[in-house]
Amino acid sequence: MNKTLLAGLVVTAFMLLASLFGHYFAPHDLNESAQVSYSGGTLTVPPLPPSASYPLGTDKYGYDMLAKLLAGSRYTIFVAFAVALARMAIGGLIGLMAGYFGKAKPRAGRLPLWNVLNGIPVFVIVWMIMIGITMNPGASAPAMSLILAVVLTAVGIPSVAGTMKEKTAIVREKQFVLSARSIGAGSWRILRKHVFPHMKESFLILFVQEIVLILGLFGQLAILNIFVGGTKMLFDPVEYLSRTNEWSGLVGQARDNLFTNQWILFVPLAAYVVFILGFHLISIGLEKHYRKTFAKASQL
């Protein structure tokens, strides 16, 4: 049994189900705020620590952390999925074409375009594009999520294309591809019937790895106050809040709670890290599974 793959699937499945159906079981609504109360000589003021009434506590405005996590999970999870899928669809196709029809090796002294672009930190590029439009935007949260998704897709295509180009260039020299070409099979048929089926495992593993990279990129952008769905900027004092309550945004806006009211920081951080860990385990598990599958000796 591939325990690593199973553990990753269990974690991610739980997160997906919680994001889709968790709000039906949440004890408090997202817009319900705990009020200041006085009872038995005790003054209760938000933020409230984890308790029976608030299992994960509240933020400093009295909003339930569990409700915020469940509401923001859909942006964190599905935007990451969408970006990874778009990167694989576009970058994978470009890499497949370039690897099969391109030259085996670039000319001496010249580097492929994607190698040059990969030398620039992605989060810096995204920050320069998004910083002027993400603060108190007029567009809705879904629209801002779409804009960020398009930007993240565009900057990630060269990396995916470069990886798939190298893998395709290796596969096209395999004996079964050369045999198909020798008997007159066309290039498109070879790509569709021989090259792509042989690389579908690589596509799947790379897709999962892209999700991990994108989630990590969310965290890097959150440090710079770029949140999925846009950033709400308050003044006097200056404060940055996530409009969607997505997990990296909740972590980024709660950095000041490291020494006081730590649950406001560590609750979303735990969910964020566990979700990344789940996909990381899936990636490792898939690699183990395919390594074991292809290492089996053929039997007569």
Q: Which two tokens stand for residue 230?
A: 């846009």
Write the DSSP symbol of residue 2: -
| Secondary-structure percent of the chain, ordered helix, strand, coil, rounded to 5 | 65, 5, 30
Q: What per-residue confidence (pLDDT) applies to 172? A: 87
Sign of CA dihedral 252, 257, 258, 261: negative
Q: For residues 155 and 61, what is the distance between their CA atoms, to the nearest angstrom?
A: 36
In the chain, pLDDT over 70 holds for what percent of residues? 91
Sign of CA dihedral 38, 44, 50, 54: positive
Task: State the chain's mean pLDDT as an integer.
Answer: 88
Q: What per-residue confidence (pLDDT) applies to 105? A: 59
User: Given pLDDT bands bounded at 50, 70 and 90, which one contains residue 299?
Assistant: very low
How do residues 125-148 score in pLDDT, each as one tens digit? 999 999 999 999 999 999 999 999
How do residues 1-14 score in pLDDT, each as one tens digit? 689 999 999 999 99
Residue written as token pair 């994001």: 19
Q: For residues 154 and 152, what is the distance between their CA atoms, to the nearest angstrom?
A: 6
Give the residue, 180 or 49, on which the prediction is more confident. 49
HSE-CB for 213 with a 13 A CA cutoff:
21
Q: What pTM was computed for the model?
A: 0.87
Q: Are 59 and 65 in contact (CB under 8 A)?
A: yes
